[in-house]
């Protein structure tokens, strides 16, 4: 089996595993499935959960698309007259309780072809990151410890390297703050002297397999904690920053829009209830302010 088919089979199975576990944790809602086709080639399987007992909205999507690389993306990749293949799993989960963090993850594979159909470039990318609204240091440390363990199985420098890249990537430049407390971000993982493509496949799937262990214990610990309207308001204000990042900076969103991707799947990452209050600042000495101070200067968690 070639690499692209092997990885697509992997993300199909991973989608089943993740959605089944999230449904069990939620206890009320189930994922609605939507199969779709892309006119230019390929398609996907979107699964969305809404108005659950724990999860207010979430999506766990897979896709495999192919065809001629749009001109805007040719310039981005520095190629001309190229075809492409891209497959991946992308998820975003927005819990109802403001003490449970939002989580995002993505694992993907990409190929570029010459006019004769030969592979001229191929790489993996992905990562997973945590966006809390109230900061529990032990939750951030747990999430990062699982990320580090997955990385350490494959290279002693991967965690430090990809944690740093995550902090840099998920940075809301116009706000001068991080989107959350980070995790891992890696891209253009190509064959080199240390890692062939099989080794990269093993690494990316190790990270994917670690996701539930990184996130579910945090959900289980915080989902029944009592909260009030002011804490819900803060969650919705911070969700506004999440939306800003996704629409202004996120490469995955921009790639989907530029390749005529399915708009409902691309924008499923947006939360259902959001606030933008003019010139809002948290109260001095509050837990809300403590979160913002950490987001302004990423810290070491493990």
List b or e across 81-108, with b for residues whose CB sees 16 or more CB atoms inside 10 angstroms.
ebbbbbbbbbbbbbbbbbbbbbbbbbbb
Q: What is the pLDDT of residue 116?
A: 87
- Check if 66 is active-site: no
Ramachandran angles phi, psi of 13, nearest 5°:
-65, -40
| Domain enclosing residue 179, as ranges | 3-296
Q: What is the pLDDT of residue 73?
A: 74
Express each pLDDT in 193-202 by its tens digit.
899 999 999 9
Residue 91 lies in a domain: yes
Q: Closest by alpha carbon to 63, among 83, 43, 36, 40?
A: 43
Kindly name the residue from 104, 174, 249, 281 that is annotated as catalytic.
104
Residue 301 lies in a domain: no
Q: What is the pLDDT of residue 214?
A: 98
Report the CATH number that the domain containing residue 276 is assigned in CATH: 3.40.1500.10
List b or e across 191-208, with b for residues whose CB sees 16 or more CB atoms inside 10 angstroms.
eeeebeeeebbebbbebb
Residue ranges, the chain, pLDDT below 70 = none
Q: What is the pLDDT of residue 92?
A: 97
Q: What is the pLDDT of residue 267?
A: 86
Q: Is there a contact between 130 and 103 (Cβ–Cβ < 8 Å)?
A: yes
Residue 273 lies in a domain: yes
Q: What is the pLDDT of residue 175?
A: 95
Residue 212 lies in a domain: yes
Q: What is the pLDDT of residue 71?
A: 76
Residue 258 lies in a domain: yes
Q: Strands of the chain (E only): list them.
A: 32-37, 42-50, 55-68, 83-95, 102-113, 119-131, 171-172, 177-178, 182-189
Q: Using CA atoms, how far apart are residues 213 and 205, in angstroms rounded to an integer?
A: 14
Q: What is the pLDDT of residue 187?
A: 95
Q: Is there a contact between 129 and 107 (Cβ–Cβ < 8 Å)?
A: no
The total number of structural domains that make up the chain: 1
Residue 84 lies in a domain: yes
Residue 50 lies in a domain: yes
What tokens were used for 97? 């309780």
Q: Is there a contact between 130 and 100 (Cβ–Cβ < 8 Å)?
A: no
Which residues is 33 bridged to in the sheet? 47
């Amino acid at each position: 089996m070639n690499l692209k088919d092997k990885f697509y089979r992997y993300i199909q199975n991973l989608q089943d595993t993740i959605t089944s576990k999230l449904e069990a944790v939620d206890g009320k809602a189930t994922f609605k499935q939507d199969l779709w086709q892309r006119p230019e080639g390929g398609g996907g399987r979107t699964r969305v959960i809404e108005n659950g007992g724990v999860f207010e909205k979430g999506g766990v999507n897979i896709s495999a698309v192919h065809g001629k690389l749009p001109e805007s993306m040719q310039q981005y990749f520095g190629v001309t007259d190229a075809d492409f293949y891209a497959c991946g799993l992308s998820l975003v989960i927005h819990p109802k309780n403001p003490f449970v963090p939002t989580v995002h993850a993505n694992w993907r594979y990409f190929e570029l072809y010459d006019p004769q159909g030969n592979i001229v470039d191929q790489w993996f990318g992905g990562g997973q990151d945590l966006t809390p609204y109230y900061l529990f240091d032990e939750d951030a440390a747990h999430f990062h410890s699982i990320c580090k363990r997955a990385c350490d199985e494959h290279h002693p420098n991967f965690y430090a390297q990809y944690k740093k890249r995550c902090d840099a990537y998920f940075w809301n430049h116009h706000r001068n703050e991080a989107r959350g407390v980070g995790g891992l971000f890696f891209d253009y993982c190509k064959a080199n002297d240390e890692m062939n493509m099989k080794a990269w496949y093993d690494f990316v799937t190790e990270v994917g397999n670690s996701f539930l262990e990184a996130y579910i214990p945090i959900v289980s610990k915080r989902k029944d904690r009592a909260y009030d309207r002011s804490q819900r308001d803060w969650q919705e204000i911070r969700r506004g920053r999440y939306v800003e990042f996704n629409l202004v900076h996120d490469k995955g969103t921009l790639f989907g829009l530029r390749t005529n991707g399915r708009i409902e799947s691309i924008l499923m990452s947006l939360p259902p209830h959001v606030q933008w209050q003019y010139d809002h600042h948290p109260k001095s000495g509050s837990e809300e302010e403590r979160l913002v101070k950490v987001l302004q200067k990423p810290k070491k968690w493990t």
